[in-house]
Amino acid sequence: MISVIIPCYNDGKYLPETISKLKLQTLPANEIIIVNDGSTDAATIEILKEFEKDPLIQVLHKENGRMSAARNFGVAHAKGDIIVALDADDYFDPSFFQKGMDVLNNEPATAVVTSYIQYFGNRKGKAKPRGGHAFNFLFSNQCPACAMVRKEVWDQIGGYDEAMKLGYEDWEFYIRLTKAKWDVHLIPEFLLYYRQTNKSTLANDTHPNRKQIIEYIIEKHKDWYAECLSSLIDQKEVLYTESRISFQSIWKMFKNRLTGKYK
């Protein structure tokens, strides 16, 4: 059973397209949960009232808590054993649910299915995340928030960190997931259509606060980062720029790269 979770904060104008695209999936969702995260836009409220008439859709209302809290709230009310996280202004190719379920049915160690990304809206372009295991998530996020996730795993790792309100909450979620020995499977096709708008969290909140967010992630997972560094060094997968370099120096280099002090 597939439950689609859509947080919505003043994005009602995009919902009709998002919902209509959802209903084109070759493997239909069993329920769609829209979480109204304290929207203040009158037009969004009216659109949500219309969607409440749809028997496939459940509209939940809560005070504004940003994306992490909204996703967790929706998942807590979901009946499905498969969660599809989707933003209010994005959509998937009609084949994604079927292809994603085929992967999960055939790969018991896989907890998340993602795909390549096609950007549209204010900016055009493409992205090819890698998915994979924990090492792939050391330096950057390799899976979009919009993805298919086993609910048992979502519950196992405790969902999104609701203290993270400025972005990268999906990256931190996937760090915990892959630390727990689950895999992220990448379908090498452009199946996620990711809208670019002027109110993007990434542009308005995440990038200006990148250093602060990165330091939060590193502090939260510092033992794991140190363990991974030790493994990488032992496996000679770290590029050395000096004939001798201390562990402390590598740690500083690692943190500086993450926080963008130098590349």
Q: Are strands 147-150 and 110-121 parallel, antiparallel or unpaired?
A: antiparallel
Whole-number average pLDDT of the chain: 88
Per mean pLDDT, which range of 88-97, 100-109, 224-233 is the poorest?
224-233
Domain span(s) for CATH 3.90.550.10 in the chain: 2-199
Report how far residue 22's alpha carbon sits from residue 47's, in angstroms, rounded to the nearest whole number.
Answer: 17
Residue range 196-220, pLDDT digits in tens: 877 665 666 667 778 889 889 999 9
Exposed, middle or buried, 20 (CB in 10 Å: 0-12/13-18/19+)? exposed
pLDDT classification of 248: cutoffs 50, 70, 90: low
CA–CA distance from 37 to each of 41, 48, 127 (Å)?
11, 12, 28
Q: What is the mean pLDDT of residues 107-116?
A: 97
* 2-199 placed in CATH 2.60.40.10: no
Residue range 162-195, pLDDT digits in tens: 999 888 999 999 999 999 999 999 999 999 999 8
